[in-house]
Amino acid sequence: MVEQKSGGSILFVASVSGHLVVYPQPQAAYGMSKAAVIHMTKSLAAEWAVHGIRVNCISPGYMDTILNHGPAMDQIKATWLSRTPMGRMGQPSELMGAVVMLCSPASSYITGADLVIDGEFSGCPSML
């Protein structure tokens, strides 16, 4: 994009785990890597704005994917749901509106943003 002088949009996928420590699963390395993605988003947004390149990210919360299926996950999912005010996991399709918006001209003045999409898991400390 820089060489072509075309500008554009870059969207990274971080995680609610980049904002807070999640529990009960042990995943320090995962959380640290997602926090790094959030920081990289903000740094690149500042550095590349002069080139007309917008850099944003989304931070999904717990999403209902195949990775969370099976009886071994039942107790962990119960903990997640008890701490999520919406009382459910997100569906991957619920990320698409944010993805389209952040990659389109509709967000032409948005850069360095991290949109948390987590059913209010991360913003409700009384649930933790």
Are 29 and 120 within 8 A, CB to CB?
no
- Local structure of 69: helix, strand or coil: coil
Given 9, 17, 34, 107, the catalytic residue: 34
For 84-118, the three-class secondary structure string (H helix, E strand, C coil) is CCCCCCECHHHHHHHHHHHHCHHHCCCCCCEEEEC
Q: Active-site residue 62, yes or no?
A: no
- β pairing state of 114-117 and 8-13: unpaired
Per annotation, catalytic residue among 5, 6, 9, 15 = 15
Tell me if residue 82 is catalytic: no
Q: Is 30 a catalytic residue?
A: yes
Nearest to 15 by CA among 80, 59, 67: 59
**Which one is catalytic: 30, 33, 42, 77?**
30
| CB-based contact 115:57 (threshold 8 Å) | yes
- Active site amino acids: 15, 30, 34
